[in-house]
Amino acid sequence: MTSDAPAGPALSPTTKRIRLRYPGTCRACGTPLPAGETACYDRPSKTVTCLPCASPVVGGPVDIASDDARRLPAESVPDDAAAHPPGARDGDASPSPEAPAAVVGTAGASARREYERRRARRQERVRAAHPRIAGVILALTDDPQSTTAWATGARGEELLGRRLDGLVDSGVCVLHDRRIPGTKANIDHIAVCPGGVFVVDAKRYRGRPRLQVEGGLFRPRIERLLVGSRDQTRLVGGVHRQVALVRDALAGSGLDVPVRGVLCFVEADWPMVGGSFSVDGVSVVWPKKLADMLVADGALDALAIDAVHRTLAAAFPPA
């Protein structure tokens, strides 16, 4: 097809004209571009350029009447396409070039700090009470279980955190050790993947996790989580509370995303075959099983995953 209008420069294969889902700023002239405006979007650099301006990617002013422009009408791109500031990843809804990347956090950081704090306080008490023989006492006695439990928990979170970090190349975005605002509690791990959001509570307990079911036909069905011989059903309630908070944070940002709760037992006595189960809707798994769940196919694409990841990073800051 020919046109009487002067031919515009050839668009890069990575550059398209789109209708902006979010407000943006022209990278060339700095003009604000409202949502719904048609502009040129360069996917590799995540930048947007207004039509009258020349983009380094496009190579010059975009002639709307040119054959190239007609071959790439704004309607050919889905309405949910977004423009991104320099340095942002796909799915970033923020128009600000200075928008910081989501802080992933450090797995087990708050538990490790609490262990060190309790250990230091015990050492100070012993030295104050027995200045001459404090070194001997500390060398011959162990920290109480209430202190070592924090170190054990921190180690479990660290081990699982390394496993989750290794899934980034598979399209999984993670957050570690997130503070629940207004409380002293935290969420061990949040993973955002094609299947949705997984709220993960890491535990490093001895014994074999198993499901015990009571009741049935004529009595209410009651599911209990046992680890070895200990009833740990209370852990399920804690995960449910965390899941509810994450759902509320997403709903407050207008995001409708599936959220699942997971209890992941690190270094537990799992059987060679099978072993995973759910208690009251909470999945009970080991690290490799969790990884398989996170990399499975799902409805969320990279844009949606990144948007959800940033939303939750802001709602639950590092602990």
- So where are the chain's domains? 1-101, 109-315
User: Which of the two residues, 96 and 281, has the higher pLDDT score?
Assistant: 281
Neighbours of 160 (CB within 10 A): 27
Distances (CA, A) of 7 to 2, 13, 14, 314: 10, 17, 19, 46
pLDDT value, residue 272: 85
Q: What is the mean pLDDT of residues 278-288?
A: 96
Q: What is the mean pLDDT of residues 250-277?
A: 93
User: Which of the two residues, 14 and 4, has the higher pLDDT score?
Assistant: 14
Distance of CA 3 to the CA centre of its chain: 49
Q: What is the mean pLDDT of residues 42-62?
A: 59
pLDDT value, residue 270: 94
Taking 70 as the threshold, does the pLDDT of residue 73 lie above it? no
User: Which of the two residues, 35 and 231, has the higher pLDDT score?
Assistant: 231
pLDDT value, residue 316: 96
Contacts of 158 (CB under 8 A, 6+ apart): 107, 108, 112
User: Which of the two residues, 16 and 225, has the higher pLDDT score?
Assistant: 225
Taking 80 as the threshold, does the pLDDT of residue 301 lie above it? yes
pLDDT value, residue 21: 63
Q: Among 110-114, 127-131, 141-145, 216-220, where is mean pLDDT lowest? A: 216-220
Q: Give the C-alpha separation, 133 to 126, whole Å.
A: 9
pLDDT value, residue 42: 75
Does the pTM of the predicted model rise above 0.85?
no
